[in-house]
Copies of this chain bind each other. A is one copy, B any other.
Amino acid sequence: MAERGDREAFVTLATNDTYALGCLVLGNSLRQRAQTTRKLVVMITSGVTQPMRNQLSRVFDMIYDVNLLDSRDAANLQLLGRPDLSVTFTKLHCWRLTMFDKAVFLDADTLVLQNVDELFDREELSAAPDAGWPDCFNSGVFVFRPSEETYDSLLKFAMSQGSFDGGDQGLLNMYFRDWATKDIAKHLPFIYNVVSQAFYSYLPAFTQFKDFVKIVHFIGATKPWHHPYNTATKEVTPLPESGHNKDYLQIWWDIFMTLVQPTLDPSLREQMGG
């Protein structure tokens, strides 16, 4: 029988080379910093270039190609006039990874600071509250159980209901709608998905619980890779409008510069101004 570590995986997603850079830092944070014993999977679409695929294969155990839209989904989406759901649907593909018994999805803009392998003891669907509307969970980090049945059922649900926020978070919150009220064990502590802006919204709590934070999530339009980095001082410059915490940005860039950038294909390196 296979080891538990082989039947459980962290899964992330990139539809282009820029988000793939996030996946590379995330993968390295899981392996080098958090010393995970589980498999690492990255789902990619055709928007990711061949040099980047090569790069991803150095860090991830498995590269899982997904279509931005399945042919059958495309037809249905067209019928329903909901082409906006296409990126959302891409994330749902994680349920098709049935070679794993259990998995943890992580957005490409997350960063793992400490070992979180204990997440595999949780059941589907476990997730942390969203700081904006805390009766919704944030869909940047969640524990799930791959299953074709669930995948089909999620697709059907998506096509009949749509998503109240046009993304996967609104959809998943409606599908797993008893999350807020049913089982406290499915509430991951917030330290498993701390928005990098949290120090701003409630500084004393952030200060109090800072050392316990295990996963940071750089939500919003401005991602760590959009920030200026000074190669001489090795310091990142926070952008006030992004609201991201400087310490977390620095950790992201430290990993990027030491473990990712040196082996990047020159064509990719250009993109990052490295």
Interface residues of A (CB under 8 A from B): 128-136, 164-166, 170, 180-184, 187, 189-191, 198, 201-202, 204-209
Contact = CB atoms under 8 A, between A and B. Distances in A.
Given A184-B182, A187-B180, A204 B170 contact: yes
Contacts of A180: 187, 189-190
Contact of A164 (B130, B135, B184, B205): B205
Contact of A183 (B170, B184, B191): B184
A201 B132 contact: yes
Given A131-B201, A135-B209, 19 more contacts: A129-B135, A131-B133, A131-B134, A133-B198, A133-B201, A133-B205, A133-B209, A135-B189, A136-B205, A164-B207, A164-B208, A165-B202, A165-B204, A165-B205, A170-B204, A180-B190, A181-B184, A182-B184, A184-B184
Contacts of A204: 164-166, 170
A135 B184 contact: no
Contacts of A191: 135
A28 B59 CA distance: 61
29 contacts: A128-B134, A129-B129, A129-B135, A130-B134, A130-B202, A130-B205, A131-B131, A131-B132, A131-B133, A131-B134, A131-B201, A132-B205, A133-B190, A133-B202, A133-B205, A133-B206, A133-B209, A135-B189, A135-B190, A164-B205, A164-B207, A165-B204, A166-B204, A180-B187, A180-B190, A181-B184, A181-B189, A182-B184, A184-B184
